[in-house]
Structure formats: structure tokens, C-alpha cells
């Protein structure tokens, strides 16, 4: 079969390019976090620290926020709790509801992650130049809102 008759795209399109950029950024972030003393963290743990982070969230809210099943979320929460990054504590008057609380190690991890992300953004600004980086950030902000708006018009 020649490439001309291939029914799919022959080169990466927008979604694939965004994924490749995201994966490269996550690899750089993971390397920096390991170098900062958080060698026990895996890329799968990043999801739980996605903005705004898990602090004070109920596990069910956190599962919805990061798009994981409750079972998958509990697996990650168990891992991070055993590694000393968070605890689950009772909340509310009767204590039946649980909320996630970051430990000192979890707070240090979140701070190191923020610092690493800012350093990566500085490096991307050096690669792209300030005007292109500013435009990239504006475009990345516009994409989710624009696609969500289009969903409502279909």
C-alpha cells in the first residue's frame, strides 16, 4: 500500500503535536523532580497534582477533576500516601467525608514542581522567543475554551 492510499493522516496533526509537546514537557519535569530528591514519583502521579492540586479535595471530586475512575484514583492515592506525600483525613462535622491533605513532603513536591515548570517555561521562551511564547500561551488557553464553546453549538 502506498502512502498516498493510506486512509489516515500521513503526518502528525494538531492533537498528536500537542501530545508530543506535552510528553516532552512531562519528561523534562520528571527528570527535574527526580534530581530535586523526589525519585519515587512517577509521571502517573502528576495527574493528582494538576492545577489546582489535591489539597482539601474529596477523593470523588479529585477523581472527577483529573478524569480517573475512583478505583484508579484510590490506587494513586494509596501510593502517594505510602510514599508520604499526602494523607486522607476526615472532614465535616461527622467526619464521614474524607479529604486529601498534602504532607510537608507533598507541599515540597508541589513547590518543586512549580519551580521546575517555571524553569521549563523560561527555556521554552529562549527556544521560541518571547513573542512566540506569549502567543503559544494565549493559544493554549484559547483551545479548551474554544472547543468547549463549539460543543454547545453542535
CA 68 remoteness from chain centre = 12
Entry pTM = 0.81
pLDDT at 151: 87
Choice between 90 and 131, residue whose per-residue pLDDT is larger: 131
- Domains along the chain with CATH numbers: 12-38+104-154 (no CATH), 42-102 (1.10.10.10)
* pLDDT for residue 114 is more than 80: yes
| pLDDT tens per residue across span 26-43 | 999 999 999 999 999 998
Q: Is the pLDDT of residue 68 over 60?
A: yes
Please tell me the predicted confidence (pLDDT) of residue 1: 38
CA distance 150 to 144: 10
Strands (E), the chain: 86-91, 97-102
Contact 45, 80 (CB under 8 A): yes
Amino acid at each position: 500500500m502506498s502512502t498516498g492510499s493510506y486512509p489516515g493522516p500521513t503526518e502528525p496533526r494538531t492533537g498528536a503535536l500537542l501530545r508530543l509537546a506535552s510528553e516532552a514537557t512531562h519528561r523534562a519535569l520528571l527528570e527535574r523532580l527526580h534530581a530535586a530528591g523526589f525519585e519515587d514519583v512517577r509521571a502517573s502521579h502528576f495527574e493528582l497534582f494538576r492545577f489546582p492540586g489535591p489539597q482539601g479535595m474529596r477523593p470523588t471530586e479529585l477523581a472527577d477533576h483529573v478524569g480517573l475512575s475512583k478505583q484508579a484514583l484510590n490506587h494513586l492515592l494509596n501510593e502517594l500516601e505510602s510514599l508520604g506525600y499526602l494523607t486522607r483525613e476526615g472532614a465535616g462535622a461527622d467526619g464521614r467525608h474524607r479529604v486529601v491533605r498534602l504532607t510537608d513532603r507533598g507541599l515540597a513536591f508541589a513547590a518543586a514542581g512549580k519551580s521546575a515548570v517555571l524553569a521549563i517555561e523560561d527555556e521554552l521562551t529562549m527556544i521560541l522567543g518571547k513573542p512566540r511564547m506569549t502567543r503559544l500561551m494565549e493559544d493554549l488557553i484559547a483551545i479548551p475554551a474554544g472547543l468547549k464553546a463549539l460543543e454547545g453549538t453542535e
